[in-house]
Amino acid sequence: MNQFESKQSQPKLETNEGWLVQVYGSNRRLLCVLEPSHGWIFLMGCGVGLLLSVIWINAARYSPPLEPTPPTESLVLPVD
């Protein structure tokens, strides 16, 4: 028996498993964990933001322009 047969085999990584991001600080403390649901919520937020911006731009384009109100009195600046 050689040395390669005595080692335990590495477990196979399933491709159906989700991803997980763990962020650690410089002192090796866990700062935060990002799960797949965080990524989906971020993408949904980007999509909703894009949809709202397109709607806002189209609504502003087709809305009637505001009429400027005439000034009630003109401003007179003192000259030295």
pTM as predicted: 0.50
Q: Which residues contact 36 (CB under 8 A, 6 or more apart)?
A: 18, 19, 20
What whole-number distance in Å separates Cα of residue 18 and Cα of residue 36? Answer: 7
pLDDT of residue 32: 92
Instruction: Report the distance separating Cα 36 and Cα 23, nearest Å.
Output: 15
* DSSP, res 52: H
Cα angle: 6, vertex 11, 13; to 5 degrees? 155
Predicted local distance difference test score (pLDDT) of residue 19: 82
Q: Does position 5 have pLDDT exceeding 90, yes or no?
A: no
> pLDDT tens-digit profile of 27-80?
999 999 999 899 899 999 999 999 999 999 998 888 887 777 776 666 677 776
pLDDT > 80? residue 26: yes
Q: Where are the domains of the chain?
A: 19-61
